[in-house]
Structure 1
């Protein structure tokens, strides 16, 4: 018996407290008591020696386990149907998005092709416009030369040459 008391004193940091209140792991006390209630760790009120009891909800108080299982199964069935409807809606939306994604890709390809064609036409149009401007300038120069030659010669010879020139066109 004396040996047992001596061991108790050594375990609790050489204190003279009884063994039941000693802290064998030498962890500082926070002053909070913890216990397991309803399958979970809960904080017990200070100085509590018995675990707290929880009240059973009124809607399940007088039911058997089979009744509760049936109720929960009905709730699960309802939730499963909702989930299935939502999953089907998500599937349809996903299929529609994929289909539209393919359409967008095709439109993008067509756009790029049309843009390239438009750029080509624009480049060629610019070249043609530049050619027309050059031709117009040459025609103006030719017209100016012809008018000047007509004035300088004021003769029938120039007039006959012009008539001959225009008749060949």
Structure 2
């Protein structure tokens, strides 16, 4: 009873379940893109395999940004740390419910004149973010990347940190 694939999108609602006409068009517009082999859209990939070692050894900049009603995030401090200016092109890769943004010449995302970055609905949904919520931003200037997390990820990081400290598993130098 899976959904149908139509024009590169996977329907979450199977046909014939009470939707018709305009309702079908609205439901189809809200569905997530599906991965279709041979797609014409070129996707830039980022190797996230060594991201843990990158973050562990690099200086980090952090900020909390409100996701506005248009899906935009903004942090002048973080964008300046990364030396990201208006109109810089970015691409996104994904980990487990977070996005990694990196500057690339042919990226599909860009920062506007007011240093705001509009995240498409698919990225917001994947990161479990919505309008009015706060995103936790982690800049890694050495590698020119920005990691976007939800509040839930931040809460888990804090819990893990304190769990380690309470169990006496402190690491040297921290």
User: Whose RCO is larger (CA < 8 A, sep 6+)?
Assistant: 2
TM-score (norm 2): 0.19
More helix by share: 1
Q: Name the structure where strand makes up a greater proportion of residues.
A: 2
